[in-house]
Amino acid sequence: MNILHISPHYGGGVGSVVIDLISSLQASYQAHNSVISIDTSKTNYSSLFKSLGINYYDGLFFTYTAYSYLIFSADIVIIHYWNHPLLAYFLATFDFPSCNIVFWSHTSGLFEPNIIPRFLFKPGVRVVFSSSVSFSIFSDINLPVPTNVSSIHSVRNLDDFALSFHQRTYTSGSRLIYIGTVSRQKMHHQASDIFKALAAHSFQIDIIGSIDDKELYEELNHISEITFHGHQLNILDHLLDSDIFIYPLNNRHYGTGEQVILEAMATGLPIVCFNNPAESVIINHLSNGILACSASEFVNNVLTISSDCALLSKLGTNAHNDVVSRFSINNVSRDFYSLFETMLLSNDSYQGGKIVDLHPFDLPYASMLANSFYTIKPYSLYAKHCIEDSLASAAIYYRSIFPNFSSLSNASKATPFQYKRYFPSSNLISTICAMLE
């Protein structure tokens, strides 16, 4: 079986999941995998793919002849979806040949602008959620659950993390760790207060991840108990040097599989996070972790378990056991291979053409709207050439989603600023960025 993976890029949690999925498919089912990165991916992922003997095509952008050849040669095309400018434009401009397409959504789709667009749910296309929490989008947009939708929880190979569990001891709760992007777009609006409150109680806090919000970084960096380590390739040692994993994300974040939570749980770290949709699928309150409803409750939860070694041990041990039993890369590859076999035996393939047809006046802008909003108002006004009204409508929606645009950068995912970074010649994207700044 020849499987072609297409993604905006490979990095972070998605990159780890895809590499381990491919390795498992090759080892267990002798499936041949090829990989396309639309954008230029991080160098280490390029070398990892090549070390596995995988045909890897980096930075193809819109070289459509190459896509056509590779798709035509594939039995299955799996597109790793999230709201990314290059993928959004690709889906609106590339004429697919007849093929078997699977969209694996790596965003929950629960909150704009990180949606799972309606246009993906079309005949001949299979859509796979990376968390069961995404099924709730159908009630939110008043659609019945399509028959071509399923859920396979995304997870990387956790064997190394699980094997390290025997090194875990539960004698102290003074060392905290957060792994993830430092960004107000992702983190709880009181995350800064949470870190400051915990530092005031003399917890040592390691923060690992790229910094997308310099203001938030500068607000915390002067505190002696808080150490920023930046992006790290090897996080296992950091997890083993910690006592509690804290994850203060906002309730509108777009995550699904939450790889860092699963990695921390596999090592036996107790988890404290908010009762957000994606986290609540993984964490069973007071069994394998603790879910908080407010910032003050978050801090109090950390204080409570840090001074109770028996509770630390119970939560950490249950977390390890739960991850080992529920989340396995072998289960992921098994479920995907079963889906692929079903698709190949059926006659229900995608018949070809663009995934979504959009009005061509300013396609980058149209692609941004189609991949960012469940409401069709901004796009419908654009399609009617009511450009000023479309911009005004889109600005209203964006302001309701991002009250503080000053904290966003051109790396902030699914924002007009990220779209402008890739499509600087789009007059409408530049205009809405100016309206929002």
| Spatial contact of 221 and 245, defined as CB atoms under 8 Å apart | no
Residue type, 400: S
The dihedrals phi and psi of 57, each to the nearest 5 degrees, come to: -120, 110
Whole-number pLDDT of residue 345 = 95
Whole-number pLDDT of residue 413 = 86
Residue 426 CA: distances (Å) to CA of 13, 117, 156, 284, 295? 30, 22, 37, 46, 41
Beta bridge partners of 249: 187
The dihedrals phi and psi of 356, each to the nearest 5 degrees, come to: -145, 135
Measured between alpha carbons, how far is 151 from 16 in angstroms, rounded to an integer? 19
Whole-number pLDDT of residue 13 = 84
Spell out, as residue ranges, where the chain has pLDDT lower than 70. Answer: 43, 405-411
Closest residue by Cα to residue 118 from 101, 133, 99, 140? 140
Whole-number pLDDT of residue 402 = 83
Whole-number pLDDT of residue 278 = 95
Whole-number pLDDT of residue 185 = 79
Whole-number pLDDT of residue 220 = 96
Domains in the chain and their CATH numbers? 2-157+328-345 (3.40.50.2000), 159-326 (3.40.50.2000), 360-436 (no CATH)
Q: b vs e for 338-355, b when ≥16 Cβ sit within 10 Å of the residue's Cβ?
A: ebbeebeeeeebbeeeeb
Closest residue by Cα to residue 253 from 82, 51, 56, 76? 82
Whole-number pLDDT of residue 95 = 96
Q: Which helix (H) or strand (E) holds 388?
A: helix 387-401
Whole-number pLDDT of residue 409 = 65
Whole-number pLDDT of residue 135 = 95
Give the CA-trace dihedral at 229, 234, 240, 244, to 10 degrees: 50
Beta bridge partners of 35: 5, 56
How do residues 186-215 score in pLDDT, each as one tens digit?
A: 899 999 999 999 999 999 999 999 998 888
Whole-number pLDDT of residue 335 = 98
What DSSP letter does each residue of 196-232 carry, written as one string? HHHHHTT-EEEEES-BS-HHHHHHHHT-TTEEEEE--
Instruction: Write down the pTM of the prediction.
Output: 0.94
